[in-house]
Amino acid sequence: MLELQVPSGVYEVLVEATSGGISPFTGTWTLGRGDAYASCFYVVTTFG
């Protein structure tokens, strides 16, 4: 787990996988004083 403390503001984020074949996630997070933001990603490679 990685925890960062940053000033309030609007952040453009990019999340990339450590292995190939997975498209990066991009988005915008608007963080205010005392806000917390967390994301968890699961990659499914097969169904059924």
**Residue range 7-43, pLDDT digits in tens:** 999 999 888 887 777 888 899 989 999 888 777 777 7
Q: Is the pTM of this model over 0.85?
A: no
Q: How far apart are CA 19 and CA 29, in angstroms?
A: 25
> Residue 12 has what pLDDT?
93
> Residue 11 has what pLDDT?
93
> Residue 35 has what pLDDT?
87
> Residue 30 has what pLDDT?
92
Sign of the dihedral defined by the CA atoms of residues 10, 12, 18, 24, in that order:
positive
